[in-house]
């Protein structure tokens, strides 16, 4: 097995992957071994450019994947420290990501227009109605 290096890989499927890879010469039939492959996408927002990072195989718990060379259009070694830093940061934090499925309930706040309870609003409206009745009499 060769030395590991960071590489950006373009697959025949159109996917672009960043991964720590090694190439295994398996009886003359080379295999590319991907370690924790991720996909990265540049997103432009009014706040600036951001990178969206996600696992290549989102539901898999495996860290290593084997790709045959005929599934790769091209690959290039990257020494871009920023990309490698993003990759390593994502891989290290990936285990601590919690899956959270919200119940769909949102706690109202004053910014949403919530200024009192139903009971308080009812009393306030009754007082306004009673005041109006006393003025008309």
Domains and CATH numbers, the chain: 5-94 (2.30.30.100)
Query: Would you say the pTM of this structure is higher than 0.85?
Result: no
**β-strands 16-26, 48-55 pairing:** unpaired
- Which is more confidently placed, 137 or 93? 93
CB atoms within 10 A of CB 87: 21
pLDDT score recorded for residue 110: 62
Give the gyration radius of the chain's Cα atoms.
28
What CA–CA distance (Å, rounded) separates 34 from 20?
A: 6
Task: Render pLDDT for 21-74 as a digit per residue (tens, 0 to 9).
Answer: 998 887 778 889 999 999 988 888 887 888 888 999 988 889 999 999 999 999
Q: How confident is the model at residue 5 (pLDDT cuts 50, 70, 90)?
A: very high
pLDDT band at 1; cut points 50, 70, 90? low
Question: Tens digits of per-residue pLDDT, 76-108?
Answer: 999 999 889 889 988 887 544 444 445 566 666
13 φ, ψ (degrees, to nearest 5): -75, -15
pLDDT recorded at residue 131: 75
Dihedral pair phi/psi, residue 84, rounded to 5°:
-65, -40
Token pair in block for residue 2: 């060769």
| d(C-alpha 84, C-alpha 7), whole Å | 10
Does residue 133 carry a pLDDT above 80?
Answer: no
pLDDT at res. 108: 63
Residues in the chain: 137
């Amino acid at each position: 097995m060769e030395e590991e290096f960071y590489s950006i890989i373009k697959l025949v499927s159109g996917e672009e992957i960043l991964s720590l890879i090694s190439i295994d010469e398996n009886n003359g039939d080379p295999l590319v071994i991907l370690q924790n492959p991720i996909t990265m996408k540049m997103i432009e927002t009014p706040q600036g450019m951001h990178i969206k990072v996600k696992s290549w195989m989102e539901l898999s718990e495996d860290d290593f994947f084997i790709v045959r060379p005929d599934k790769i259009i091209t690959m290039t070694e990257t020494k871009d420290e920023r990309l490698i830093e993003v990759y390593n940061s994502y891989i290290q934090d990936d285990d601590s990501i919690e899956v959270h499925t919200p119940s769909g309930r949102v706690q109202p706040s004053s910014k949403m227009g919530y200024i009192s309870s139903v009971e308080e609003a009812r009393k306030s409206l009754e007082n306004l109605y009673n005041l109006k009745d006393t003025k008309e009499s």
